[in-house]
Amino acid sequence: MDWDITAFRKKHDTKSLHWDAHAWLEDDDGRIYDYIFPHYNYSAEVNTGEQLKVPNGTLWEGIAKDDAASLGVCFYPASKKTQFAILLSLAIWLYKTKEDIANGSAKWIVNMD
């Protein structure tokens, strides 16, 4: 998968509260450290039409990328330019959230259960 700035911008705009992006830890041998949240199934269905083959709430501590892929979870690093765009969009959103908390207009709109 070619996850570039164009692909990121197709899924996210400056007014969106959704990012089709994810961060994980990876060691020098390419093993993945990650947690499988319930909303990953939604992302998988939207992007592939299929459910993941791993239970929600699974903690991965050093899983091989091939093993993760066999469970429906693939890790595609974004380009440096795309990583910067993702971080910048998050920084803008966090700053706005800080302002909304300060003025009392912030509230949860999503249940992660």
**Tens digits of per-residue pLDDT, 9-33?**
776 666 666 666 788 999 999 999 9
Whether residue 1 is predicted with pLDDT greater than 60 in this model: the reply is no
Q: 10 Å Cβ neighbour count for 19?
A: 13
pLDDT band at 48 (very low <50, low <70, confident <90, very high): confident
Residues 6+ apart with CB under 8 A from 64: 30, 31, 32
Q: In angstroms, rounded to a whole number, what is the distance separating the alpha carbons of residues 112 and 50?
A: 20
pLDDT band at 37 (very low <50, low <70, confident <90, very high): confident
Question: Residue 62 has which token pair?
Answer: 């050093």
**Tens digits of per-residue pLDDT, 51-91?**
889 988 899 999 999 999 999 898 888 888 888 888 888 88
pLDDT at position 25: 96
pLDDT at position 20: 67
Whether residue 113 is predicted with pLDDT greater than 80 in this model: the reply is no
